[in-house]
């Protein structure tokens, strides 16, 4: 994955937008490759088998957690748009 980031840097890309599922999100978070996360939260309940935002199966203790800072919250229709940054 870092090879892709290196290639984008050599191409002088300053911003890359990625719409990702939990597996890619987890990998990007673990590798510290994202500066800003934009997350939309809908007021719905999907149950315990729904897929989460980040797939991090080896994260098992609170001490291993990733902390994010909320820099903006806006309502978009019925949803919330959260802008998050990794600490």
What are the boundaries of each domain within the chain? Answer: 2-86
Give the residue-averaged pLDDT of 63-82: 97
pTM (predicted TM-score): 0.82
Q: How far apart are CA 87 and CA 63, in angstroms?
A: 14
Which pLDDT does position 87 carry in this prediction? 79
Which architecture characterizes domain 2-86 according to CATH?
A: 3-Layer(aba) Sandwich (3.40)
C-alpha pair distances (Å), 3 with each of 49, 53, 77? 33, 24, 38
pLDDT tens digits, one per residue of 32-65: 999 999 999 999 999 989 889 999 999 999 999 9
Which tokens hold the place of 28? 């990007």
């Amino acid at each position: 994955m870092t090879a892709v980031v290196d290639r984008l840097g050599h191409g002088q890309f300053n911003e890359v937008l990625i719409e990702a599922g939990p597996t890619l999100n987890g990998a990007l978070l673990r590798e510290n490759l994202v500066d800003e996360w934009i997350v939309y939260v809908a007021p719905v309940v999907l149950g315990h088998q729904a897929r989460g935002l980040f797939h991090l199966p080896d994260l098992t203790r609170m001490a291993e957690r990733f902390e994010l800072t909320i820099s903006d919250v806006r309502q978009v229709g019925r949803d919330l748009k959260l802008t998050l940054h990794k600490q």
